[in-house]
Amino acid sequence: MRQLVVGSRRSKLAITQTKQFIARLKEIDPTLDIKIKEIVTKGDQIVDRQLSKVGGKGLFVKEIQNELFNHSIDMAVHSLKDVPSELPEGLTLGCIPDRENPFDAYIAKNHVPLDQLPDGSVIGTSSLRRGAQILAQFPNLEIKWIRGNIDTRLKKLHEEDYDAILLAAAGLKRMGWSDDIVTSYLDADLLVPAIGQGALGIECREDDTELLNLLQKVHNPDVFECVSAERTFLKEMDGSCQVPIGGYAKKVTDDEIEFTGLIMSPDGKRRFQHTIKGSKGIELGKEVSRILKEQGAYQIIQSLNEG
């Protein structure tokens, strides 16, 4: 096979998970010649503003997609939660590999449990989804914006005015952080994850048959079906980083998936959530979207997207 060039964001986490995926490919075929091309995206350049204030979709993928169209890379390893629900014509997700822990990690000073934080305690997160869900259940707490990579956020927790922070568990695990650093993992009953959280999406040109055949060897069809429910829900609800939207699907039997979709107002005061079971991810995503729209959830999205 030809030499393959993989596009990746320049962040430490992005490079690490790209190397891990390359290692997985080389388990299949040790003769593969693969190199990484680092690409700086718009989302990486914006470090002084909350991403929800910037607007738009694809803040972490557009420049990488351009490199695919230019044939300067053959594929890209994305955190799936960064990938818009609709891809440009000519590109496809060649595979969805095994999923890491999809939940959020709660890390507190002195490991104080979330439900024991004193009134007015400050939790750092850059996610409207996380902030809204925390405020809904713990209105006595304060949410404060925080940006930066894992190392930066952990440093800010101990050096700045934060009592706790929330991070994606998958990033911590891929970077090799010990479970000891985590006060608790917040499952979907407490904090519905982001769409696709913990999963990778391997994007390539849809006419690259040779590469697509290779990628199918590390494809996980069960994870694909689950994230299809989540991404369909995102698409149907016209979700973006300006909207507190969550979705999580899991296999409950060999042929049945349980999917929960969530839409909230940023202040946590309005919540629309529904859970159903079925066998087809896309159908589940569409059905939960239909139900939440009937309940009035789309009004929140429209007002946030227009604002």
Active centre residues (catalytic): 82
Task: Compute CA distances 31 → 19, 42, 75, whole Å.
Answer: 16, 35, 18
Specify the amino acid at residue 305.
N
Strand ranges across the sheet with 245-253: 245-253, 256-264, 271-278
- Is the alpha carbon torsion for 25, 27, 28, 31 positive or negative? positive
